Amino acid sequence: MVEKPLDIDQKLCKGCGICYTLCPKKAIKGDEKGKVVVDNPDLCSKCGICESHCPDYAIFVRREKK
Amino acid sequence: MTSKKARLIQGNRACAEGAMAAGVRFFAGYPITPSTEIAEIMSEELPKLGGKFIQMEDEIASMACIIGASLTGKKVLTASSGPGISLKQEAIGYACMTEIPCVIVNVQRLGPSTGGPTSSAQGDIMQARWGTHGDHPIIALCPSSVYECFTLTVTAVNFAEKYRTPVYVLMDEIIGHMREKVILPNIDEIKIVNRKRPTCPSNEYKPYQIDETLIPAMADFGTGYKWHVTGLFHDETGFPSGKPKVIEEQFKRLMTKFDKYSDEILSWEETEAEDAEILLVAYGSTARSALDAVNILRSEGIKVGLFRPITIWPFPEKRLKTLAEKANKIIVPEMNYGQLILEVERICKDKASVGGLFKFNSLPITPEEIMFKIREVL
Amino acid sequence: MRPELQKLFRMDKLPHIWCPGCGHGIITRAIAEAINESDLDLDKTVIVSGIGCSSRAPGYMHFDTLHTLHGRALAFATGVKLANPELNVFVLTGDGDATAIGGNHFIHAARRNIDLNIILFNNNIYGMTGGQYSPLTPTGKIASTSPYGNPENNFDIPALAIAAGASYVARGTAFHDKLLIDCIKEGIKNKGFSLIEAMSMCPTSYGRRNKMGNAADMLNDLKTTAVNINVAKKLPPEKLEGKFLIGKLHHKPYPEFTQEYDKLIAKLQKGAE
């Protein structure tokens, strides 16, 4: 089973498109309303650029505890 | 027992000393005649007491600055005059809306605009009541002696703390700059009031709670309550709300919060008023001339009396109405084009005829002028 | 949001009021990250703001927060800090708030070198009122009150702050969030007036009128127009045309106002003994 790389809070997402435009791996995309959804979980490198540039705090990248 | 010393001091000094006696430990101001002495005294004395003085870049900033300081739990004061008070109105409205305790001294000078910086006037009576935009509650106290500059500043600080509100000490240039012999009370004779602070856990704290006291507790910044202060209409928790029901409830509490305490807030002085047929309503320095006129005319057997409101806002309406039942004529002498007379007319118009004696040429109203006016209407 | 960051926010107040793609949310998060990484006592931290889009940020942050009057945040903050120097005081303000109506307070707070951390959200426009030009709208740009292009010159905010006496001045952007966090952290460490200009973007009221694309395009503009000051030092001037510098632009510590005032109190009280 593939672990979910990202938590997305769709209630907070305003669909600005910053996250999936910035995503270097194209792991996420916009749905029909432009809101973020995970497209290819396997591609996600957990770089966090989506999380740190989400103006709406809708994304949380799951990282392993050190 | 400490022996009290008689001193010859200025009204502005008495005001500054009253503030410090009441526990004021923060002053922000901007130089302006005729109130500057208060800032000068504070700059010298406050640091000795561990307090802070700051001369801000402008009047608006000094008003904003004391509100910020008050939020940390300090008792705060600013002092200014006409043009400065006009500028402060923006932040005075903020203090009304957010219910932050603070005291504003206005040593009134001749206006409008730059007007007469060293000339006395009483032209800011209505500004004190309605100076900032929107309906709002306000308390204004009006001393007419150097001694009262001290005691009423103490009262103003206490009221600000107790009722979570800005309070004006509405002096005038004559009172501010006049030197008089006073014997000020010892510090242990002065009643000190501190604001109500929350005792509940921080997650239960409601900085604008509507309860039977109508005055919510106020937490000092830095004590873990983590509350939000905004000039927007807000609900009990302090956060913005645009709900008409919330706005109305909070607005009503704000506008009526002094009513419950009117016995304590309202004060006035009467001289031969009980059986007066002609009643003078005078305040500030003008009340001194009015008092002379009453004493002289009484010795001639003329039934004249004086009603001196000490609390100008809210106005001691009930008592004046009762006196107006007996007096058939009321005269309001004031150093302006007729301001408090509007309030007196509103209260007494069905009971007595109300006339004014207005002077706005930079000179004080003399006892002779008042007596002349009285003889005219006799 | 990351659980450890959530304690710095009033999560129940989200979503915030800002438009989709507004850079202010990114900058607000950077401020929270910087506070979190600086190990500040959260109970002793106060966040003050004025009026405008940026000034709504404190409402979402879980501290003692003071949403004040247009332009006056620094005057209120001066009162908070001077009255209780133990408090860490942040001022969140915008380009209109800090440099137009609040311009006087801005230069005087800098002159005093009072220990405040100012994060100036610069989106080049008055967003809240619908897109009027501000003192930081570049010349020629379209705003609702400059339909033929802004005829005025704009301020260079870091230069203004340095001239006025700020002891720490830096600039970051909504794209360069890690740099922005580092700048804010350095500003927190600096005992004195620290100004961090945070370049933001307003797709709704500025980008749209000036045909700058969507939020991601505007973020990309910030990425390509910004040059780190350390890199810029090695570049010829012609390579810097049309660019702006980011990073630490100025750091020159000197005596801080509230500490100096406390020294005065100590001296006077000692003298009285």
pLDDT value, residue B90: 98
Averaged pLDDT, B330-349: 98
Yes or no: say if C171 and C159 are a contact pair by the CB < 8 Å rule: no
CATH label, C3-272, candidates 1.10.10.10, 3.40.50.300, 2.170.190.11, 3.40.50.970: 3.40.50.970
Which residues on chain C are in Cβ contact (under 8 Å) with B100?
none
Whether B204 is covered by a domain: the verdict is no
User: What's the N-to-C CA distance of chain A in angstroms?
Assistant: 22
Q: Do A18 and C219 count as a contact with CB atoms less than 8 A apart? A: yes
Residue A26 lies in a domain: yes
Residues B274-311 pLDDT 10s: 999 999 999 999 999 999 999 999 999 999 999 999 99
Coil, helix or strand at residue C128:
coil
Same domain? For B154 and B292 the reply is no
Specify the number of domains making up chain B.
2
* Dihedral, C107, C112, C114, C117 alpha carbons, nearest 10: 20
Confidence of residue B1 (pLDDT cuts 50, 70, 90): very low
Q: Using an 8 Å Cβ cutoff, are B252 and B260 in contact?
A: no
Residue with structure tokens 């005075």? B92
Give the count of domains, chain A: 1
Q: What is the pLDDT of residues C199-229, one digit of tens each?
A: 999 999 999 999 999 999 999 999 999 999 9
User: Does residue A53 fall inside a structural domain?
Assistant: yes
Percent of chain B with pLDDT over 70: 99
CA B100, CA B88: separation in Å to the nearest integer?
15
- Subunits with 3+ C-beta pairs closer than 8 A to C: A, B
Residue A66 lies in a domain: no
Give per-residue pLDDT as tens, B127-176: 999 999 999 999 999 999 999 999 999 999 999 999 999 999 999 999 99
Q: How far apart are CA C116 and CA C194, in angstroms?
A: 6
B90 CB neighbours in chain C (<8 A) are 69, 72
Of C18, C21, C177, the CB nearest to A52: C177
Residue of B48, B68, B73 lying closest to C78 (CB–CB)? B68
Per the rule left: phi > 0, alpha: psi between -120 and 50, beta: everything else, B214 is left
Whether the ω angle into residue B34 lies within 30 degrees of 0, i.e. cis, is: yes
- Nearest-angstrom CA–CA distance, B263 and C150: 59
pTM higher than 0.90, yes or no? yes
- Please name which of C61, C65, C57, C59 lies closest in space to residue C97, comparing C-alpha atoms: C57
Alpha helices in chain C (DSSP H): 3-6, 24-37, 73-83, 95-96, 103-112, 157-164, 177-189, 215-225, 229-232, 257-272
Mean pLDDT for chain B overall: 97
Domain boundaries of chain C, sorted by first residue? 3-272
Query: Is B39 domain-assigned?
Result: yes
Q: How many CA atoms lie within 13 A of B26 on its CB side?
A: 26
Res C211: pLDDT: 98
Please answer yes or no on whether C20 and A52 come within 8 Å at the CB atom: no
What pLDDT is stored for residue A2 in this prediction? 53
Helix (H, G, I), strand (E, B) or coil at B264: helix
Does residue B112 lie in a domain region?
Answer: yes
Summarised one tens digit per residue, pLDDT across range B110-133 is 999 999 999 999 999 999 999 999
* Residues B16 and B139 occupy one common structural domain: yes
For residue B116, tell me if it sits in a domain: yes
d(CA A36, CA A27): 10
Q: Which of B189, B214, B233 is the last residue of a domain?
A: B189
Residue B238 lies in a domain: no
Q: Sign of torsion, CA B6 B11 B12 B16? A: positive
Contact residues for B181 (Cβ-Cβ < 8 A; gap 6+) = B6, B7, B8
**DSSP codes of every residue in B286-334:** HHHHHHHHHHHHHHTT--EEEEEESEEES--HHHHHHHHHH-SEEEEEE
Q: Which domain holds residue B324?
A: 269-377
Q: Edge to edge, what strands does the sheet with B278-281 contain? A: B268-271, B304-309, B278-281, B329-334, B353-358
ipTM over 0.85: yes
In a domain, residue A36? The reply is yes
CB C127 within 8 A of CB C142: no
Which whole-number Å values give the CA distances from C157 to B85, B246, C170, C232, in the listed order?
31, 41, 10, 18
Query: What is the residue-wise DSSP string for C176-222?
Result: -HHHHHHHHHHHHHSSS-EEEEEE---IIIIITTTT--SHHHHHHHH
Q: How far apart are CA C46 and CA B54, in angstroms?
A: 20
Q: For residue B11, give the CATH number of its domain.
A: 3.40.50.970
Interhelix angle B59-70/B82-98, rounded to 10 degrees, is: 30
Q: What is the sign, positive or negative, of the torsion defined by CA atoms of B230, B234, B235, B236?
A: positive
What percentage of chain A has pLDDT greater than the value 70? 92
The three-state (H, E, C) secondary structure of B183-216, written as one string: CCCCHHHCCCCCCCCCCCCHHHCCCCCCCCCCCC
Q: Which residues, in sequence order, are CB contacts of C5 under 8 Å at separation 6+?
A: C29, C32, C33, C36
Three-state SS at C4: helix
Question: C23 contacts in A (CB within 8 Å)?
Answer: 55
Looking at residue A40, which CATH number applies to its domain?
A: 3.30.70.20
φ, ψ of residue C23 in degrees (nearest 5): -75, -15
Residue A31: closest CA among A50, A49, A17: A17
pLDDT exceeding 90 applies to what percent of chain C? Answer: 98
- Taking the C-alpha atoms of B223, B228, B230 and B234 in order, what is their torsion angle to the nearest 10 degrees? -130
- Cβ atoms of C183 and C171 within 8 Å: the answer is yes
Residue of C nearest to B231 (CA): C68
Tell me the pLDDT tens digit for each residue of B308-324: 999 999 999 999 999 99
Q: What is the pLDDT of residues C35-58, one digit of tens each?
A: 999 999 999 999 999 999 999 999
**Of the residues B148, B171, B189, the one at which a domain ends:** B189
If pLDDT is split at 50, 70 and 90, which confidence band does B2 have? low
Q: Which of residues 185-204 of C touch A (CB under 8 A)?
A: 203
Distance between CA B354 and CA C255 in Å, rounded? 62
Q: Which of A53, A54, A64, A65 to mutate to test the interface with C (most CBs of C within 10 A)?
A: A53
How much is the pLDDT for C271? 79
Tell me which of C65, C89, C269 to substitute to probe the interface with B (most B C-beta atoms closer than 10 Å): C65
pLDDT at A65 over 80: no
